[in-house]
């Protein structure tokens, strides 16, 4: 299988990868999960820089762990990034980091920041989330988790719940689904958090049809996967609107009573929209999802930066 799609490339959006590319990633990740003792140090003598201009514990630490497990060293700009670096232009910061490292994993609040970085930098840029649309490695691990738990991604029924407007994990997940053939995709979100028209247009262009529904109760017994997101206060222009909607889309043990087949996914952290009493149900897939962060990011780093074919 060709590694041309990955080797030395930037990873800015899951839209830039074909279904075949993703399947290649999943095969490597699967191998890392199933045979952890046979992992080669394919990144030894490589340095991975993490630069998080917005806090992110899971993404930063799981990329760091993934890099370490492949033998790379990690340098971290993040503490400064959130304060000191604000006076410097992003291109200057990226040029500095590429003097020190072989690959940069970055997160940034602004849409297009990773693209800008990739235009400046000579080393591969991995987008650990920017703006409200792109978080490709999250979408990759989400799809991988579904494939492992349900055996496939095609033909399933999905509900994406909560903030489908501002949550980059939700948008990226939908972009990822557009590479596959779901049976149906319900979007369940309050009026102020519905999908952006340009995102909808992009999905239409990939022939991914979505159906807007008002009430999660109406579709919970009709789906295989519930993909939840945190409703993030900081993305709301109006805090009153946030207060009004935040409780509306909560999943608890009782709401899942008739949803035997649905696995519940959530990129975490959760802040109330996903009750702790769900943790012990067989529906709960979010801990397994979190665990898949490391092998999927290992596979990504290996394919982009690993020296030899696997």
* Candidate list 8, 55, 112, 155; residue touching a second copy; CB under 8 A: 55
Classify burial at 35, counting beta carbons within 10 Å of its beta carbon; exposed 0-12, middle 13-18, buried 19 or more.
exposed
19, 58, 200, 235: which one contacts a second copy (CB under 8 A)?
58
Q: Is residue 212 a contact point for a second copy (CB under 8 A)?
A: no
Q: Which of 9, 60, 69, 107 is catalytic?
A: 107
Instruction: Show the binding pattern over residues 234-273: x = contacts a second copy (CB under 8 A), - = does not.
Output: ----------------------------------xxxx--
The correct pick among 57, 212, 252, 254 for binding a second copy (CB under 8 A) is 57
With H, G, I as helix, E, B as strand and everything else as coil, classify residue 186. strand
Characterize 54-83 residue by residue with b for buried, 16 or more Cβ atoms within 10 angstroms of its Cβ, and e for exposed.
bebeebbebbbebbebbebebeebbeebee
Note whether 29 binds a second copy by CB under 8 A: no
Looking only at the bridges linking them, the beta strands covering 211-213 and 73-76 are unpaired
Residue 297 designated active-site: no
Binding mask 67-96 for a second copy (x = CB under 8 A): -xx---x-x-xxxx--xxx-xxx--xx-xx
Q: Is 40 in the site for a second copy (CB under 8 A)?
A: no
Least distance in angstroms from the C-beta of 182 to a second copy:
27
Beta strands in 81-239 (DSSP E): 103-108, 125-130, 157-161, 184-188, 211-213, 225-228
Active site residue 107: yes
| Catalytic site residue from 58, 157, 253, 310 | 58
**Minimum gap (Å) between residue 146 Cβ and a second copy:** 18
* Annotation says 157 is catalytic: no
Quick one: 94 or 113, whose CB is closer to a second copy? 94
β-sheet bridge partners, residue 186: 159, 211
Tell me if 110 contacts a second copy by CB under 8 A: no
Report angle CA 228, 231, 233 to the nearest 5 degrees.
Answer: 165
33 is an interface residue for a second copy by CB under 8 A: no
Nearest to a second copy of 15, 72 (CB atom): 72
Does 206 engage in binding with a second copy (CB under 8 A)?
no
By CB under 8 A, residue 310 contacts a second copy: no
Residue 147: active-site member: no
* Secondary-structure percent of the chain, ordered helix, strand, coil, rounded to 5: 45, 15, 40
Least separation in angstroms between CB 282 and a second copy: 17
Phi, psi of 210, rounded to the nearest 5 degrees: -125, 150
Q: What residues does 94 pair with on adjacent strands?
A: none
Alpha helices in 6-102 (DSSP H): 19-34, 57-69, 78-81, 90-100
Q: Token digits for 7?
A: 């080797």
CB 29 within 8 A of CB 298: yes
- Return d(Cα 213, Cα 41) in angstroms, integer: 47
Query: Which of 290, 301, 304, 305 is in the footprint of a second copy by CB under 8 A?
Result: 290
What secondary structure letter does DSSP report for 194? P
59 is known as an active-site residue: yes
For residue 190, what are the CA distances in angstroms to 35, 204, 219, 223, 246?
43, 21, 15, 19, 9
User: Which residues are tagged catalytic?
Assistant: 58-59, 86, 107, 135
Residues within the interface to a second copy (CB under 8 A): 47, 49, 55, 57-58, 61-62, 64-65, 68-69, 73, 75, 77-80, 83-85, 87-89, 92-93, 95-97, 99-101, 268-271, 276, 287, 290-291, 293-294
């Amino acid at each position: 299988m060709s590694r041309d799609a990955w080797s030395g490339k930037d990873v800015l959006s899951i839209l830039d990868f074909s279904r075949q590319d993703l399947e290649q990633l999943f095969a490597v990740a699967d191998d890392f999960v199933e045979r952890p003792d046979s992992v080669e140090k394919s990144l030894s003598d490589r340095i991975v820089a993490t630069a998080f201009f917005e806090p992110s514990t899971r993404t930063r630490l799981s990329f760091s762990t993934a890099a370490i497990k492949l033998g790379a060293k990690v340098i971290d700009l993040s503490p400064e990034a959130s304060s000191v670096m604000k006076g410097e232009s992003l291109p200057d910061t990226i040029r500095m980091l590429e003097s020190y490292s072989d690959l940069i994993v970055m997160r940034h609040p602004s849409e297009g920041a990773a693209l800008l970085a990739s235009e400046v930098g000579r080393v591969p840029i991995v987008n650990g989330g920017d703006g409200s649309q792109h978080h490709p490695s999250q979408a990759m691990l989400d799809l991988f988790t579904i494939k492992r738990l349900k055996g496939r991604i095609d033909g399933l029924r999905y509900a994406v719940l909560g903030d489908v407007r501002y949550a980059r994990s939700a948008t990226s997940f939908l972009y990822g689904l557009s590479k596959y053939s779901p049976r149906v995709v319900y979007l369940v979100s309050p009026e102020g958090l519905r999908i952006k028209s340009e995102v909808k247009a992009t999905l239409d262009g990939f022939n991914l049809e979505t159906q807007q529904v008002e009430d999660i109760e109406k579709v919970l017994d009709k789906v295989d996967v519930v993909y939840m997101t945190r409703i993030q206060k900081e993305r709301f222009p109006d805090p009153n609107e946030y207060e009004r909607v935040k409780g509306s889309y909560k999943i608890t043990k009782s709401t899942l009573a008739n949803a035997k087949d649905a696995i519940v996914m959530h990129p975490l952290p959760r802040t109330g929209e996903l009750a702790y009493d769900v943790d012990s149900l067989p529906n709960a897939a979010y801990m397994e999802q979190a665990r898949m962060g490391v092998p999927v990011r290992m596979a990504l780093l290996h394919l982009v930066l690993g020296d030899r074919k696997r």
